[in-house]
Amino acid sequence: MQPQRYGPFPYVPMNCRPRITWPNGARVALWVVPNIETFPLNEPVPGGTGQAPDIINWAPRDYGNRIGIFRIIEVLARHGVRGTVALNSEVCDDYPQIVEDAVALGWEFMGHNQSNARSLHLMAPEEERHVVFGTFERIEQILKEQLPPSAYEERAWWRNQAQGMQVERISWMDAGWLVETVDLEGKWVCFVRQ
């Protein structure tokens, strides 16, 4: 992505956008996105003292992985709400029980770096690329799911045509999205609202 003055997406003011309609006439949509992150004790905590261990800044985050997330899981399950986890991939190794519980509840996952102790914007581009790909690879390993090889090799896999049995394509189109740009070499796709 090349930075533009107006941001990463074309500027469309609110009064020129198509009206959004939600199922069953709902007026509000709620997307629950718990951040499930790891802050290793042997690394400085961002915004903390700059020392490791940084107990005073690490402890509240550790509470989240030992107690807080399980309270959130319990409340959401009680009300039939599925979460979409913004997941640090090192959580898969540090706290696999959290991931197992979220998978059992049918939650979805999206990559959110390897650890919150290391910031992507401070890395060289090649290191950043390596970390991003590593994040997705680790999440795919623990979920035992990934896109089929053709999604990484064939531009046609991403075409905006609801034909055949490709569930993913039908799903993104039914949800009101179209593929705008595909970069197979860089392994990224940009979707736009229909």
pLDDT digits (tens, 9 = 90+) for 48-80: 998 999 999 999 989 999 999 999 999 999 999
Buried b (16+ CB within 10 A) or exposed e, 178-194: ebeebeeeeeeeeeeee
For the stretch 77-125, pLDDT in tens is 999 999 999 999 999 999 999 999 998 898 888 888 899 888 888 888 8
Tell which wins on pLDDT, 171 or 30.
Answer: 30
Q: Is the pTM of this model over 0.75?
A: no
Other C-beta atoms within 10 Å of 131: how many?
17
State the pLDDT at residue 130: 82
Phi and psi at 192, nearest 5°, equal -130, 150
State the pLDDT at residue 29: 87
Phi and psi at 135, nearest 5°, equal -60, -50
Q: Is the model's pLDDT at 3 over the cut of 80?
A: no
Q: Which residue matches tokens 């509000």?
A: 28
Q: Work out the pLDDT band at 171, boundaries 50, 70, 90.
A: low
d(CA 181, CA 1): 11
Q: Is the model's pLDDT at 12 over the cut of 70?
A: yes
187 DSSP assignment: T
For the stretch 142-165, pLDDT in tens is 877 666 666 777 777 777 776 554
Relative orientation angle of helices 96-104 and 125-143, to the nearest 10 degrees: 60
Q: Which two tokens stand for residue 50?
A: 């700059």
For the chain, domains (ranges, CATH) are 31-146 (3.20.20.370)
190 has which bridge partners? Answer: 181
Q: Is the model's pLDDT at 36 over the cut of 80?
A: yes
Q: Which two tokens stand for residue 192?
A: 């736009």
d(CA 115, CA 61): 12
